[in-house]
Amino acid sequence: MVEENHKNNLTIIGTRKRRRGRLIALSILGMFALNYPLLSLFNKPILMFDIPYLYFYLFSVWTLFILFVAWVLDGRISERDTRLVLEDFDDEDEE
């Protein structure tokens, strides 16, 4: 039982580290996508769906960023897994 809890702990910790890494990568990508050199490429007097090209780019990138963050965070750790981690920490304290 302790061996199984230890494996669950490692799985949960690994999932959290991967999620954190993905969120950091998304943040860096978002910073580059919304920074000056890239924005200047889209600052043209062109309309797309009757919206200026720059505004269309900004809202599209912003929407995609929110969707990707939601996708990364959607794989939540279940309450049962969290309870297993807490029980394992309690077991270690008792020994």
| Burial classification of residue 4, based on how many CB atoms lie within 10 Å of its CB (0-12 exposed, 13-18 middle, 19 or more buried) | exposed
In order of 22, 83, 88, the CA distances from 17 in angstroms are 9, 19, 19
Residue ranges making up the domain that contains 22: 2-94
Burial pattern 26-55, b for ≥16 Cβ within 10 A else e, equals beeebeebeeeeeeeebeeeeeeeeeeebe
Confidence band of 73 (pLDDT split at 50, 70, 90): confident
Q: 88 near 9, Cβ under 8 Å? A: yes
Domains in the chain, number: 1
Q: 58 near 34, Cβ under 8 Å? A: yes
Does the structure show a pLDDT above 70 at 95?
no
Confidence band of 47 (pLDDT split at 50, 70, 90): very high
Confidence band of 94 (pLDDT split at 50, 70, 90): low
pTM recorded for the entire structure: 0.62
* Better-predicted residue by pLDDT, 69 or 79: 69
Q: What share of the chain has pLDDT > 90, as a percent?
A: 37
| Amino acid 74: pLDDT | 81
